[in-house]
Structure 1
Amino acid sequence: MGYPESILAQGERVVLHHHPHWKCLLVPTFVFIVGTALAGVGGGYLSTSDINSTAKLVLGIVIAVLWLGIVIWFFVRPLISWRTTHFVLTDRRVTYRNGIITRSGIDIPVQRINSVEFRHGLVDRVLRTGTLIIESASEDPLEFNDIPHVERVHSLLYHEVFDTRDGNDFRR
C-alpha cells in the first residue's frame, strides 16, 4: 500500500496527495553543484601541486569527506525530507505528515475547518505554489508552505468543507 492508503479509515478516499513543491530543492541542488565544483577544483589543484604523496592522500581524503558531508547534509537530507513530507486531502480530513527519523503529523477533520485561504507572491505564482492557511474550530490557523497548485488545493478543500457541511458528502 502507498502512504495515503495506509492511514485511511474504512470508506475514506483520497482527493489529493502532494509533496512540497520542488522549489524546496532548488537551494540544496545549488549547494550540491557548488560543493561538487569546489571539491573538483580542490582535487584538481591537489593533483597538480608539488606536495608529497602522503600529504596529497590526506588532503584528498579531507576534500572527499568534506564533500560527502556537504552532499549528505545539504542535499540528501533535504531530498529525503521532501520525499517523506505528505499533504493529503481526503473526503473526511486534511493530513500533513513529515519527518525522516522522527515523524510528526496533524489531522484536521473537514467538519472542524472554519476557513481556508491561500497566499502566494509573484515567484510562487510563476511556480504555481504557495501557502495554504487552514483555520479550524479550536486552534490557531495552520500554515502549510510550498503546496503545489495551491489555488486548486484551496478550491478542492473549500468544496470538501462546503459539501460536508451541506450534508451532500458526495462521492466522485
Structure 2
Amino acid sequence: MAYPDEVLVEGEQVVIHKHPHWKMLVLPVLVLLLVVAAGSFLAALVSAQSWAPWVWLVLGVVGLALIIRFTVVPVVRWRTTHFVVTNRRVLVREGVFTRQGIDIPMSRINSVQFRHTLLERLVGSGTLVIESASDEPLEFEDVPGVERVHAMLYSEVADEVP
C-alpha cells in the first residue's frame, strides 16, 4: 500500500514505506487463539446444563471484549503506524483517532545508526537511531529490514549533502 500522496510536497517521492515488524502481532494472535480455545472448552463443559445458553452468552461477550482489547486494537495500531522515507524527509505517523507524527528533513540528519538483538536479527527487524539537530537521538523500534532501511536512509542523506 503506497503512502498517501496528499501528505507529500511537490517533487517528493516515497523511497521506503513500512509498518512496524510483524513480530508485534505475535502476542495478539496468541491471545486470540487462547481466548477462542478457552471459550470453546468452557462452552463445551457447560453444554449439558439447562442454563448453558446464559453461560454461552457471557462467554461470548467476555471473549469478544478480550479479543477486541488484546487483538483488534494492536492490529489496528500496527496497521495505522507508518515509517516513511522520502527523497526529502523521514516521516513517522501513528494513531487511529488521534494521530501524531514527526518529520525529519534529510538536511537535518547528522547520523543514522541501527541496532538489533540476536532475536531481532533472526526475524529481520531492529531499532533505527537517527541523530538530527535536536537534543536527543530519535529511536524507531521494530523497523523491518532495519539494515536495508539504514543503508537506504544513509544513501539519501549522503545525496542531500552538497
Does the alignment reach a TM-score above 0.5?
A: yes
Partner of 2:79 in structure 1?
83
Amino acid at match of 1:92: R
Pairing 1:11–2:11 present: yes
Q: Does the CA contact (< 8 Å) of 1:133 and 1:144 recur in 2?
A: yes
1:67 aligned residue (49, 58, 63):
63
2:109 aligned residue (101, 109, 113):
113
* Cα drift, residue 139 of structure 1: 3.2
Amino acid at match of 1:59: V
Amino acid at match of 2:20: P
Partner of 2:53 in structure 1?
57
Q: Return the alpha-carbon distance in structure 2 between the equivalents of residues 109 and 90 of structure 1.
A: 9
SS in 2 for 1:47: coil
Q: Return the alpha-carbon distance in structure 1 between the equivalents of residues 13 and 3 of structure 2.
A: 13
Amino acid at match of 1:8: L
Amino acid at match of 1:80: V
Count how many residue pairs are aligned between Structure 1 and Structure 2.
162
Q: Does the CA contact (< 8 Å) of 1:4 and 1:14 recur in 2?
A: no
SS in 1 for 2:135: coil
Partner of 1:170 in structure 2?
none
Unaligned runs of 5+ in 1: 168-172
Alignment RMSD? 1.3
* Cα drift, residue 86 of structure 1: 0.3
C-alpha change, 1:15 and 1:2, in structure 2 (3 Å) is closer
2:95 aligned residue (77, 95, 99):
99
Identity across matched positions, percent: 49
Partner of 2:45 in structure 1?
45
Partner of 2:151 in structure 1?
155
SS in 2 for 1:3: coil
Q: Return the alpha-carbon distance in structure 1 between the equivalents of residues 12 and 52 of structure 2.
A: 61
Q: Return the alpha-carbon distance in structure 2 between the equivalents of residues 110 and 44 of structure 1.
A: 59
* Cα drift, residue 2 of structure 1: 4.5
In the superposition, the TM-score normalised over structure 1's length comes to 0.90
Q: Return the alpha-carbon distance in structure 1 between the equivalents of residues 92 and 76 of structure 2.
A: 16
Unaligned runs of 5+ in 2: none
Q: Does the CA contact (< 8 Å) of 2:3 and 2:17 recur in 1?
A: no
2:142 aligned residue (137, 140, 146):
146
